Every structure is written in structure tokens, then in C-alpha cells.
A and B are shown apart, each in its own frame.
Chain A
Amino acid sequence: MEVDSQEQLQRKQSTYLSLDENFEIQKEVYRGQQYSQIYFARLHMMRTLLYSLVPNWKSHLPVCTVLELEEGKECIIVGTLYKHMKLKPCILDEYSKERSVAPLIKPHNFMHQDDYLVLEDESGRVKLGGTKLSPSVYVTGVVVALHGKETSAGAFFVEDVLEAGLPPQIERPLKSREDKYVVFVSGLSIGSSSSNPLQFQLLVDHITGHLGDEEEQGLAAEIVHLVIVGNSVEISHGLLNGQNLASKDQSRLSEPFKELDILLTQIAASLPLDIMPGSSDPANFALPQQPLNRCLFPGSATYNTFRSCTNPHCFELDSIRFLGTSGQNIDDLTKYSEAKDKLDFLERTLRWRHLAPTAPNTLGCYPFTDRDPFLIDSCPDVYFVGNQEKYETRLLKGLEGQLVRLICIPRFCETGVAVVLNMRNLECHALTFGTQISS
């Protein structure tokens, strides 16, 4: 057996800057407000932006509000889209007399060919017609500028659409970069029947350099950061049915956390780690989800490399901006619109400059009064979403030279796949862990 080599491998490091302040709600005070405030903030910010873009788009046309529309007059209107969906679940359906109409099996996607779009601003709303704006692409909550005219039927015939487009990107200084890797993993689902502890242990061992020979350890030493993108634990629903738990069951409630903490301690001892809450984690339901409590991680929270983060999560590593969510925003878009693949949804949210346009309509959201924290005002370099079915990635190029790496991170408990990103050239590859012993 080889004797341990004299020189110790040093892990590379990078500077970390957290930009999650916008997503924290500790300072917010609930005064009984409703969601009209967040919609107003969103409309105001986006409208100011779109008004500045309209002269470059169609400068010869007048801009007016919905109430100022005149029949036959070509103009541009700016407002929030609302999609009327026939199949969208409505709480009133429970009280309707014709119970047979509602299907017993809820569809995964609520689209219907009779869906139509409506544009709304403070003065009024108008139904949108024409074929330019496809209801299958858009969702409620997106702010756009529309060129068209009012028809005799009172609808607005859309001739052209202006979305906000990709936000401006801050130029990254081209330092002579070396290969530095960031690992993304999501959907560990520790505590569920489908999670395999050996798989995650293999991942931990690989990242911390306990696997392989010197060459492999050298590769592992180039990993500078790990991001766990939501759904790290899964508590069986039998324990959560509201009944009092016997004392032996209470320990079952905390077992997934103990297991997770043991693994996270191994990681935190080795490299910086961010953990984001997901839909199955014990965090608040409405977006932005607040960081998981440090008490859940008694072992790993003692390390200063351990960071509990919000969902959505925004940070900078060596001045490369990362932005991502645990998947609730994209899953909601999947339910209310359609696209070729999940990366298309990611791209759309960037073009609309809004992380979660369906919040608060169909996605739980905190009723902010003075701002909409999901507006994206600076284009990230890496935009990721967790808890998806499969690993997908694309490099998106913007009109003003923006370059964004879009990443869909698959659920680790189902696929055994983690994603590795090279910060030098924004290239991505998958890291697969298999534990099947082939016979």
C-alpha cells in the first residue's frame, strides 16, 4: 500500500458574496395587506422599464393606458397579463352544484384551447385577440408592452409584443482563470424510501477527496463550492397527519435531519456549502422561502463554511453571479403553460425579467408592499433550477452580449446525478453515482 505523499493537496478557494438580502422577510411587517401591492410594485417597475424600451422598438406610435384606448387607433399599451383558464382549479368549484363537471383526477397541466389572455393596468383591463400572443406561452403576472388596436368588439387586437428581454449583465473581468468547479445537487430526499444513502455518501466522499488516487483527488481539490438546491429531506406523510405522535415516532421525525447533518458535517469540514430549502423541506411554504433553521444542523452549522440560504438564492463566486431556485417557479410554469423543455421556461423567466411570474396567482408568495423581490435586474452568469426530472443545460446568448448558463438539476434520489460547473468557461457536465452492483 502506498505511503501517504508528503505534500498535502490544498483545495482552491473563491470569494463568496451573498446577495440574498432581497429575499429575506425578517424586516417585513404584515399589516393586513393584500396582493394588490406587490402587483402594483411589479407593474410600476416593469412599466418604467418598458417605457424606456418602447422608443427603440416603435417610436412612432403613441403609448396609452387601457382606459384611453380608442377604436381603430393604433397604439401601445403596457400592463400585466392575466390568463383566463377554464381548467384552473377554483375554490368555488367545491361549492358548485354540478360536482360531476370537475374531473376526479387532477390534470398535471391546466391548459385548454379556450384559454385567453387579458391585459390589465390600474385603469382597466382589455381582452386580447389576434394570433401573435399565444396563450400557451404566457402566464398570469407577466408584464409586456403590446402594439395593436382596439376592435369593434371591444377587444385589443395584438400586432406585436415587446417583452423586457434579458437584463443587462455586468461585465466580468477576464482574469487568467484556472479551473474551479461548483457542484450542484438537489432532491436528496433523505428519509424517503427512494433515497439511497450510499449514493450521497459516494458524492460526499468524492467531493471531500476521500475517493480515488492523487489525480482524482487533484480534481476534487478544484471543487470550490457545493450548492444543495432544495428538497434535502422528505418526512413521511404518515407522521404529518396532525395527530399527536408517540415518543418513539417523534424520533422518526428527526431521523432524516440527523442523517443529513452527519453528511453535511463531512462536507462543511471540507469546503463551503450552501443549502437551500425546497418544497418538501421544513421551511415556509410561500416564496421567498426563508433559510432552514441552523438548529436543524447542530453538527454542520458550527462550521463557518455552512450557509443556510433562501429560496430563490443569489450569490457571487469570484464575481460570477449565480441565481437559482429549488424548482417551485418552473414547476408552476409547467402547470400553466407549455414549452419544448424546462430550459425554455428558464429562458422565458429571464426574458420576462421575473423569477416567478405566477406568484402570487398560483404560487404562494409573501405580500410585499413596496417591492417585488423576484424581478431580475441584473443578468446572472449561471441560472439554475433544482428538482427537475433530468439534467439539461444550455448556453443562452443575449442581444447585448449577455451569456448565461442555464442548468436544470435533476433529483439526486431518482437519478444519482449531480451537476458540475467549471467557472472558467461556464461549461457544465454531469457527475453520476451508481450503486448497482452488476452481476
Chain B
Amino acid sequence: MATTSKNMNVFYRQKKKSTTSTGKKSTKSPSPKHAATFGSDITQPPGLVSHGGSLDLKDDFDEQEQVLRQFDMNMAYGPCVGITRLDRWERAQRMGLNPPKEIESLLKGGKVKLESLFDGRV
């Protein structure tokens, strides 16, 4: 995409040119629209910055979150929107649906998101 380098300076973090370098400019200059790549340290356009100020680049792909997301998506325990995961687990328990105990211990152990997958997004 053709952009003048003058405009691009606004988006790039300015780096001091090293004197020993051959003067070759860094060739890779992705436009901000394609900047959503993993590992890129280019400042993101506001659209990708979700609530809390944290960059929404990497999904929380740790195993625990995966397990909890499977619990959220399981239709047998009812809808997950508008109710915390622990409340939903306790409701399922009270209704006799026998939700897995590991979920309860995960949720009570802390360090996991207590709100469902869709919290704040729907």
C-alpha cells in the first residue's frame, strides 16, 4: 500500500539509526492495517485495544481457560451469558446436572477469569 514515509513516522516507534549500519532502511514496513501480527511491536490502532487497556493480540490460550470455555459452551448447563461461571456451576449442581468437580476447584482456586467467555463482548 503506497504511503508516504512522512505519515508512517507517526505510527512507527522512532529508532535511532546506528552509524555502523550500511544505511539500509528496514525493509519490512507493514501498513497499520496489517499490523495485527503476533509478536509485532508496532503500536496498534485503537480498534484492537479491548477493555482494560490490554492488547487483544494473544488469546488466553492456557489450558485452564480452554477447559473453562468448554464449560461455558456446554449447552447442558444452560446459557452462559449474564451469569458468572461459578454461579452457573452452582446452579448446575443444584439442578442435579453433575457438572465436573474440576471446574469448581479451578474457579475457586483463583487466577482464572470468573466471567464467561462472552462477558463484555455481547
Distance in angstroms from B45 CB to nearest chain A CB is 28
- Assess whether A37 is in contact with B94, with CB atoms less than 8 Å apart: no
**Dominant SS among interface residues on chain A:** loop
- B79 adjacent to A36 (CB under 8 Å): yes
Q: Is the pair B75, A369 in contact by a Cβ cutoff of 8 Å?
A: no
Whole-angstrom CA separation of A170 from B90 in the bound complex: 30
Asked if A32 CB lies within 8 Å of chain B CBs, one says: yes
Q: In the complex the two chains form, is A32's CB within 8 Å of B75's CB?
A: no
A40 near B78 with CB under 8 A, answer: yes
When each residue 76-114 of chain B gets 1 if its CB lies under 8 Å from chain A and 0 otherwise, what string results? 101101111001001100111100000000000000000
A369–B82 touching, CB < 8 Å: yes
Majority secondary structure of chain B interface residues (helix, strand, loop or mixed): loop
A338-374 interface (Cβ within 8 A of B): 367, 369-370
Q: A369-B87, A370-B91, A370-B94 are in contact. Are A32 and B78 (CB under 8 A)?
A: no
A34 to B82, CA, bound (A): 7
- A123 interface neighbour in B75, B90, B91, B96, Cβ under 8 Å: B75
CB-CB contacts below 8 Å: A115-144 with B: 122-123
A33 in the interface, Cβ–Cβ < 8 Å? yes
- B residues within 8 A CB of A123? 75
Contact of B91 among A32, A122, A369 (CB under 8 A): A369
Provide the residues of chain B in CB contact with A369, threshold 8 Å.
Answer: 82-83, 87, 91
State in angstroms the CA–CA spacing of A282 and B87 once bound together: 32
Q: How far is the CB of A47 from chain B (nearest CB, A)?
A: 11
- Minimum CB–CB distance for A80 against chain B, Å: 13
Given A44-B95, A369-B91, A370-B94; A37-B84 close (CB under 8 Å): no
By beta carbon, the residue of chain A nearest B91 is A370
Within the complex, the shortest CB–CB distance from B118 to chain A, in Å, comes to: 11
- Residues from chain A with a CB closer than 8 A to the CB of B95 are 41, 44-45
Q: Closest approach, in angstroms, between the C-beta of B101 and any C-beta of chain A?
A: 19
- Chain A residues 1-57 with CB under 8 Å of chain B are 31-34, 36-37, 40-41, 44-45, 48
| Residue in A33, A41, A44, A370 whose beta carbon sits within 8 Å of that of B81 in the complex | A33
Also in contact, A31 and B79, with CB within 8 A (given A369-B91, A370-B91): no
How close is B107's CB to chain A, nearest CB, in angstroms? 16
**Are A31 and B84 in contact, with the CB atoms below 8 A?**
yes
State A230–B52 Cα separation when bound (angstroms). 48
Contacts of B90 in A (CB 8 A): 370
Given the contacts A369-B91, A370-B91, A370-B94, A44 and B82 also touching, CB distance less than 8 Å: no
| Nearest CB in chain B: distance from A240 CB, A | 32
Decide if B81 touches A36 in the complex (CB within 8 Å).
yes
Shortest A371–chain B CB gap in Å is: 9
CB-based contact B84/A40 at 8 Å: no
Interface residues of A in 189-237 (CB under 8 A from B): none
Closest to A36 in B: B79
Q: Chain A contacts of B96 at CB under 8 A?
A: 48
8 Å CB contact of A37 from B75, B76, B83, B97: B83
CB distance from A85 to the nearest CB of B (A): 24
CB-nearest residue of chain A to B90: A370
CA distance A123 to B79 in the complex (A): 12
- Cα separation A48 to B94 with both chains bound (whole Å): 13
Q: Which residues of B pack against A, CB within 8 Å? A: 75-76, 78-79, 81-84, 87, 90-91, 94-97
Residue ranges of A at the interface with B (Cβ–Cβ < 8 Å): 31-34, 36-37, 40-41, 44-45, 48, 122-123, 367, 369-370
Task: Pick 8 A–B contacts, CB within 8 A, sort by A.
Answer: A33-B83, A37-B82, A41-B78, A45-B95, A123-B75, A369-B82, A370-B87, A370-B90
